[in-house]
Amino acid sequence: MPLPDAPPPKTSRVYQQFAGKLLSTITSDNFDTVKDPIYIDRNSEDEIRRLNLIGQASNTQSQSGAIPDTFQVIEVDVTSASTFDVFTVPQGETWRLVAAGSEAFATNQSYVILKLKDNSNSKSVRIDALSGGFTEYTLNEPIDITYPCIVQVVAGASGTWSGTNQNQFAFVKMR
C-alpha cells in the first residue's frame, strides 16, 4: 500500500537507491549512505517515511537497543607514556562502549587511564584507571557516546618504557 497522498514510489530516490536489494543484504553502512543526503523539510516527509520503513524492515536502524551486526572490538597497542585515541564517534551516530580491558603492562608502565574527551572543547572525564597486570576497566554500566566525543587511553611510566600494553574496547552502534 503506498503512502497516503505521496508521489508514486517510482520517483522515490530512497527506493531507487535500494532497488534490486534484498532487505537481508542491506547493511547499516548502506542505510547511512542513503540516509545522509536527505534534508528535513516539508517536501521530504514521504522520503523520510520510506527510509524509516526500509530501516525498520531491514533491521539497520533501531528504535531501541543496538543495531544488529555493528559490534566491534578495537585493539590499541600502547607503546609509550602518551595519549592514544581509541575511537572517534562519527557525526550523527551514537555508539555504546560495553567493555574495556588491558593486559600485559609494559615494563615501567605505572598506569593507564580510560577517558572520554569532548572534542569540541577539549574537556575530558576519567572513566577508570588501571595499574599492573591483566584487568578490566570498571564501567559500572555501558556508556553511550555521541559526536564529538573521543574515547582515549592515557598511559604513564615510572621510568624508561619497555614493551607494549594492549587495550581492547568493545563497541556497538546504537543509532
Determine if residue 74 is left, alpha or beta; phi over 0 gives left, psi from -120 to 50 gives alpha, anything else beta.
beta
Which tens digits make up the pLDDT trace of 101-151? 888 777 777 888 899 999 899 999 999 988 876 678 888 889 999 989 999
Percent of the chain residues past pLDDT 70, beyond the cut: 93
Give me the residue label for grid cell 575511537. Answer: 87
Residue 148 maps to a domain: yes
CATH of the domain at 130: 2.60.120.1330
Cβ-in-10-Å burial (0-12, 13-18, 19+) of 95 comes to: buried
Same domain assignment for residues 89 and 154: yes
CA–CA distance, 142 with 145 (Å, rounded to integer): 10
Same domain assignment for residues 28 and 85: no
Indicate if the pLDDT at residue 3 is higher than 70: no
Report the pLDDT value the prediction gives residue 71, as an integer from 0 to 100.
Answer: 92
Q: What separation in angstroms does the CA of 55 have from each of 2, 17, 62, 92, 174? A: 17, 13, 8, 16, 13
Which tens digits make up the pLDDT trace of 138-165? 888 899 999 899 999 888 888 777 888 8
Residue 2 maps to a domain: no
Q: What is the mean pLDDT of the chain?
A: 84
Residue 133 maps to a domain: yes
Domain of residue 99, residue span: 72-173
Alpha-carbon dihedral of residues 161, 166, 167, 169, nearest 10 degrees? Answer: 150
Indicate if the pLDDT at residue 64 is higher than 80: no
Residue 4 maps to a domain: no
- pLDDT band of residue 23 (cuts 50, 70, 90) is confident
